[in-house]
Amino acid sequence: MELKYEVYIGAKPEDIWQNLISPEGTKATFFGTVLHSTFEIGAPYEYIGPGNDGDETVHVYGKVLEFVPNERMSYTEHPGPSYREKHAELETRVSLTLETVGNCTKLTLVNDQWPDNHPSYENAKQSWPMILSNIKTYAETGKTLDFGW
């Protein structure tokens, strides 16, 4: 049930990294959410933005497992409390890796360790390609995609 995606982006790893962690970058590419964390190993994180609970909705949350700036990060992920009743029991892992390839960057995303019958699996399967496409477009053009929402 592992979800794995690779995308090549015409930008430097440092620029893509900022899009992955900065408020401006995540707001543009992760459906209007901002990533809150100290990024220390074991520290909590939350993607917060407009949603079911208003402007401060927690969309996903978890703990930082690995954080190497401009190279890779990994974290546990739970759906936000307003999205799933037993959200604390629904844990997966997300790993992002950046590698320089020629004059571009390869971004690999792996979302794994899915428990059986996780209710967010199909949603993640659809959302990750959209998020990665947005990251690529934003890094290369400074604009995001219009998904019609």
CATH number of the domain residue 44 falls in: 3.30.530.20
CA torsion 121→123→129→134, rounded to 10°? Answer: -140
146 within a domain of the structure (yes/no): no
115 within a domain of the structure (yes/no): yes
Alpha carbon distance 55, 57 (integer Å): 6
Give how far the C-alpha of residue 91 lies from the chain's centroid of Cα atoms, to the nearest Å: 15
87 within a domain of the structure (yes/no): yes
Helices (H), the chain: 13-21, 23-29, 121-141
Please write the tens of the pLDDT for every residue from 88-103. Answer: 999 999 999 999 999 9
Backbone angles phi, psi at 67, to 5 degrees: -155, 100
70 within a domain of the structure (yes/no): yes
148 within a domain of the structure (yes/no): no
75 within a domain of the structure (yes/no): yes
pLDDT averaged over every residue in the chain: 95
Q: How many distinct structural domains can be found in the chain?
A: 1
Q: Which structural domain range is residue 94 located in? A: 3-141
The DSSP symbol for 43 reads -
147 within a domain of the structure (yes/no): no
100 within a domain of the structure (yes/no): yes
What's the pLDDT score for residue 106? Answer: 98
- Stretch 120-145: mean pLDDT, rounded? 95
Q: What is the pTM of this model?
A: 0.94
